Structure 1
Amino acid sequence: MLSKRIKKIKESGIRKFFDLAAENKGSFIDLSIGQPHFPVSAKLKKAAKIAIDSNCNSYTSSAGRPDLRKKIAAKLRAENNISAKPEEIIMTAGVSGALFLAFGACLDPGDEIIVPDPYFVFYKEILTFLGIKIVFLDTYPDFHIDSEKLKKLITPKTKAILLNSPNNPTGAVYTKEELKKIAQIAKKRNLLIISDEIYEKFDYDDKFFSIGSIYKNTLTLNGFSKSQAITGWRLGYAHGPQYIIEAMKKLQQYSFICAPSLVQAALETEMNLSLSEEIKKYKAKRDFVYENLKDKFDLNRPEGAIFAFVKIPKGKKNFSEKLMDNKLLAVPGKVFSKKSNYFRISFAVDDKILKKGVQILRKLAQ
């Protein structure tokens, strides 16, 4: 009774660990899940309660609340140097919702999209589900994009390039010069760039740059799940050429209908909450992980996001199983890549938990 396309995709390797941790609370040192661990702002919680009590519980337009889109357009102009108008923005059910709408609106079965490897798990499975051909761009070992490698992957069937910076799972943040070269390549071939920028605020070395500021044929995707620690509230947005946004809106009318109304209302009043203190703490966690693992493991210093992508030491067989045996949850690298000799850890946890996790990793690397 199942469709052929649903049989092509796998259960999320990340959600398996989420379920395992939930079912065995307190039994594991959990460095597997990619969500901020700081509390939701009291102001934002209050705004959500007010939204419910003010009866913001019905459908909104499929594009989203007008005043919120105005504020996001202003944010994109001020912070990202993107010339944005409210009518070029659609509110979505998280960035995952924006990605689904973008893929569905812009790509046909058989079209090719270039995806840097390693990649966020959602990309591969949903593109496969939709029948779109993925052409992987190997970014090992520094996880940055080599423009010459990129050029060689483009064919007459190439329609888009998918970027994710700051990157999940690697923590790489693409530089302005790197993105300029990508934009030049895309412009020459009239390619669409889909830029997933959900970890924008988690930029520890001030490298973050929005490619949409220099290349108009860009869909910029972002949201509030990470920056406001509201992963369960599901609110994202997309900005891009108006004809693409209109097409995404049409698909949204027959799928998600609209993004969560009460969350839109809450963020409309409390969109600009400061993350500066949390980012300082996460930068310190990043530094702790790197400084305490670099002599035992081959890893790059994460430049952003909340992850380290760590190479398994040579000769260490069944490393993922050994992590589990030592009550440490980390996601195997094969979940994010065609390669399998890495694993991902999240440092978005309490310092005590992080120290215990690092101690276990150091012991296993002996």
Structure 2
Amino acid sequence: MRLNAALLATDAPPIPEAKRWLDGVTFPPDRPLLNVSQAAPTDPPPEPLRRAIAEAALNDPDAHLYGPVLGTDALRAELAAEWSRNYDGRIAPDQVAITAGCNQAFVAVMSALAGAGDEVLLPTPWYFNHKMWLDMTGVRTVPLPCDAAMIPEADTAARLVTDRTRAIVLVTPNNPTGAEYPAETLTAFRDLARRHGIALVIDETYRDFHSRSGAPHDLFTDPDWSDTVIDLYSFSKTYRLTGHRVGAVIASESFLREMEKFQDTAIICPNMLGQTAALWGMRNLRQWVTSERDEILARRAAVQSYLGPVDGWEILGLGAYFAFVSHPFDAPSDAVARRLVREAGVLALPATMFAPPDDPICDKGLRIAFANIDRTQIRDLANRLAALA
């Protein structure tokens, strides 16, 4: 049979590809595999949350039925209230939609914004699933280079906007680089997008692990935020609900009405048990989330302390779950990533999975998802990289 040409031209999913590098490799007991390839919690949700999920599964008949296309009223209202409080803005429940994870939030938003032949700006290095979706749907990705601190600049983006541009996408804290975009950077991009009548899509999957106390930006203090800003969020990392697939979109009511067409066609409704879990977590686990953030920030500090001084290796970006590093070898990053598996027992992703082939970052960059390993393992990682160099 004949398959969709755009799908065939789309890159393969990087995580499964990287895991195939492990085939046939033996890791001795004194040097077990350090898997820093994927940014996902490896522990289940805390027990009280698991009990809440079990209680709903047993005793709430609605948990097993179709729900509202844009999510339950209770969760939409809770998220609107928290965003309004945390960002000192005004977000109404009908400006919130619940999705089947943040990846699905992105594809729903892009389906409402852009079609074949349109253009979307993605900073490089980019989040590979964003690029994959645009490729599948015939939307042209316009690479937006970042500066040495892994921060994109609105002035650079302004030179790339055309009459085909439909959106600029920013991820902060960033995947893959970990970079936390300054508030003034987001404001400059908002102003640029508004001048051109296009959307500024901000993926804040990792906002709960931001090193800054308080709101990371002030975009929602603008009473007209919804004419330009679309915000994405994930419950997966914050509450360890990756398998339950719960995310959110914060946007104008009129935009969400159009996005609802895609949502109804693609998933009918978000996972009902997942929504129950997210709501319970928001109402009951605030202190627990604070402790999780503290631990991630401690691991970030450990990366800086242990990996920062390693000769030949340079930390280009650091934050949330990620360190983006430059290696010292005279070889492209994909070859170095395979060598790390064989010679150091480390599985990390090369920059070739996050950028176009002609981007210079492909020669030297590697993403390390340090949230998956504890501080002792981070020290071990640094020692292994030092020995390899």
TM-score of the aligned structures, taking structure 2 as reference length: 0.88
1:30 CA drift (Å): 0.8
- 8 Å contact 2:150–2:317 — kept in the other structure? no
Query: 1:218 maps to what in 2?
Result: 229
Query: 2:379 maps to what in 1?
Result: 355
- 8 Å contact 2:296–2:320 — kept in the other structure? no
SS in 2 for 1:257: coil
Q: Which moved more, 1:164-173 or 1:42-51?
A: 42-51
- 8 Å contact 1:14–1:32 — kept in the other structure? yes
- 8 Å contact 2:120–2:167 — kept in the other structure? yes
Structure 1 residue identity aligned to 2:316: N
Query: 1:34 maps to what in 2?
Result: 39
Contiguous gaps of at least 5 residues in structure 2: none
Query: 1:305 maps to what in 2?
Result: 320
Change (3 A) 1:173 1:23: farther
Q: 2:368 aligns with which of 345, 355, 362?
A: 345
- 8 Å contact 2:190–2:229 — kept in the other structure? no
Q: Which moved more, 1:76-85 or 1:167-176?
A: 76-85
1:358 CA drift (Å): 1.9
Structure 2 residue identity aligned to 1:184: D
* Pairs aligned (count): 364
Change (3 A) 1:210 1:12: farther
Structure-2 separation of matches of 1:89 and 1:25: 48
Change (3 A) 1:111 1:301: closer
SS in 2 for 1:183: helix
Query: 1:193 maps to what in 2?
Result: 200
List structure 1 runs of 4+ shifted beyond 3 angstroms. Answer: 17-27, 210-215
Structure 2 residue identity aligned to 1:358: A
Task: Answer yes or no: is 1:261 the counterpart of 2:261.
Answer: no
Query: 2:307 maps to what in 1?
Result: 293
Structure 2 residue identity aligned to 1:10: D
Structure 2 residue identity aligned to 1:170: T
Task: Answer yes or no: is 1:57 the counterpart of 2:64.
Answer: yes
SS in 1 for 2:69: coil
Change (3 A) 1:180 1:84: same
SS in 1 for 2:173: coil
Query: 1:209 maps to what in 2?
Result: 217
1:65 CA drift (Å): 0.7
Structure-1 separation of matches of 2:131 and 2:197: 23
Structure-2 separation of matches of 1:282 and 1:288: 10
- 8 Å contact 2:182–2:217 — kept in the other structure? yes
1:81 CA drift (Å): 3.0
Structure-2 separation of matches of 1:231 and 1:209: 26
1:324 CA drift (Å): 1.2
- 8 Å contact 2:149–2:317 — kept in the other structure? no
Structure 1 residue identity aligned to 2:199: L
Map Cα deviations across residues 114-133 of structure 1 (whole Å, 9 max, x no partner).
11111111111100111111
1:25 CA drift (Å): 10
Q: 2:50 aligns with which of 45, 50, 54?
A: 45
Structure-1 separation of matches of 2:139 and 2:53: 38
Structure 1 residue identity aligned to 2:330: G
Query: 2:351 maps to what in 1?
Result: 333
1:213 CA drift (Å): 4.2
1:356 CA drift (Å): 2.2
Structure-2 separation of matches of 1:213 and 1:19: 47
TM-score of the aligned structures, taking structure 1 as reference length: 0.93
Structure 2 residue identity aligned to 1:43: P
SS in 1 for 2:211: coil
- 8 Å contact 1:63–1:258 — kept in the other structure? yes
Structure-2 separation of matches of 1:315 and 1:21: 23
Q: Which moved more, 1:251-260 or 1:207-216?
A: 207-216
Structure-1 separation of matches of 2:25 and 2:92: 47
SS in 2 for 1:343: strand
The percent of aligned pairs where both chains have the same amino acid is 26
The 5-angstrom pairing of residues 273-292 of structure 1 reads 273-274=285-286, 275-292=289-306
SS in 2 for 1:271: helix
SS in 2 for 1:300: strand
Structure 2 residue identity aligned to 1:227: T
- 8 Å contact 2:230–2:251 — kept in the other structure? yes
Answer 1 or 2: which has greater helix percent: 2
Query: 1:319 maps to what in 2?
Result: 336
Structure-1 separation of matches of 2:246 and 2:308: 36
- 8 Å contact 1:159–1:192 — kept in the other structure? yes
Structure 2 residue identity aligned to 1:343: L
Contiguous gaps of at least 5 residues in structure 1: none
